[in-house]
Structure 1
Amino acid sequence: MDECYEIFLSELGPQFSKVQPSDIEIAKFEGHLPQKLLEYWRLYGWGGYYDGLFWLVNPEDYASVVQAWLKDTAIENKEDCLAIARTAFGRTFLWNKKTGQNVTIVPLDSQIITSPPNKTVLAGDDTIPLQSFLIEKKSGSS
């Protein structure tokens, strides 16, 4: 287990309701999501943490929701926004490898929050931004 995932688990506790994706399911996201995320999926699967308050998810399960939320927005390459995680309260975290932009859907507040493009992701290195995203998740936040 790498140090990032250890920190993630130390903050959010053990995984439960694990679903182990097949190699075919993971392969669908090659080139669209960080290699490190795909590696975590291979090793640990999709599932819940911190008593269900945070989940790493299968992007296909959220594709229609993401499409509906982003439909009338000015977000570039919105078809490349893929859900990678969610909270128990519906906050959904999207990754866009093409633009380097992360998008968060916050249904309780009817908001979509976008980040500026991440230059590191645009340069082709998305490991550190992904690991930073995971490490920033704290047991007291949603």
Structure 2
Amino acid sequence: MLESFFADTIDEIGPPQRCLPLTAEQDARLSKCLPSSFMDFLRAYGLGDYFDRKVQYCDPAEFSPILALVFGADADFSHKDCFVVAHSAFGRLICWSERHDHFEIDLVDLRLTSSKLAPTKFILPPGFEKRERSSDPNILARSLLVSDRRDYEEFDAQGKPMFDRCIASYGRLERDECYGYFPAIATVGLDSPIRRLESIRRVKALEHFAILAQLGTFHLMKLERGQYTVIRPIG
């Protein structure tokens, strides 16, 4: 039976599409490292996608070499206890850490975010009490499920969303594909005008992500007042 949040969210947005059922080997392997609430979701639906493959769920084993490239010898993050459970159409990795629960890696912008290690600080209105962050992995795993089509969007240099325009220009993604910038944004600057529709190609996700993971030092960052602040380098 699905945990209530997963069940309610799927009632709202529908089940993932084009799903591949978990094999017995995948079930046995992943159940050792992922929360049971998320495993129940994978057992029910397998590895599928949401919103025309804007987000694709994946086998973490395939992405472990990419995590090794990103992390290096980092004290907090290791490919041995961190797992990519999904990726966006442009290169954001949705991950689970056995030590630090949900975190994400933006391969385009060389950015790692963690609500545990670098939480966003909200200014609460008078009378509102700050809620303590849960320590239950089955609750924390709720953030591994996408809930809104607007999430995981990519924006061009003018701040315009790109996903639907990429579909119109380059076609819908197949399983294990992504949209990539050529040249990569990390090689020309994060604010480069290269961040535009004409710079996009449809490519194999794993191959492209492995290249992006080697283009520079990643940084743990915190979101404050709509801006990212660097906490420390990764590695």
Q: Normalized against structure 2, the TM-score is what?
A: 0.51
> Is there any run of 5+ residues in structure 1 with no aligned partner, and where?
none
1:103 equivalent in structure 2: 103
Measured in 2, the distance between the counterparts of 1:31 and 1:93 equals 18
Q: CA deviation at 1:115?
A: 2.9
Q: Are 1:80 and 2:49 counterparts? A: no
Measured in 2, the distance between the counterparts of 1:138 and 1:28 equals 29
Choose which of 148, 153, 172 in structure 2 pairs with 1:138. Answer: 148
Tell me the secondary structure at the aligned position of residue 104 of structure 1.
Answer: strand
2:50 equivalent in structure 1: 49
> Is there any run of 5+ residues in structure 2 with no aligned partner, and where?
118-132, 153-235
After superposition, the Cα gap between the structure-2 partners of 1:51 and 1:113, relative to the gap in structure 1 and judged at 3 Å, is same
Matches within 5 A, 1:59-78: 59-78=60-79
After superposition, the Cα gap between the structure-2 partners of 1:128 and 1:17, relative to the gap in structure 1 and judged at 3 Å, is same
In the alignment, residue 142 of structure 2 is paired with which amino acid?
Q
Q: CA deviation at 1:69?
A: 1.2
- Higher radius of gyration, 1 or 2: 2
1:92 equivalent in structure 2: 93
The answer as to whether partners of 1:100 and 1:119 remain within 8 angstroms in 2 is no
Percent identical among aligned pairs is 22
- What is the aligned residue count? 136
Measured in 1, the distance between the counterparts of 2:6 and 2:46 equals 13
1:129 equivalent in structure 2: 140
- Which structure exhibits the higher relative contact order, with contacts defined as CA atoms closer than 8 Å and separated by 6 or more residues? 1
Tell me the secondary structure at the aligned position of residue 79 of structure 1.
Answer: coil
Q: CA deviation at 1:77?
A: 4.5
1:25 equivalent in structure 2: 26
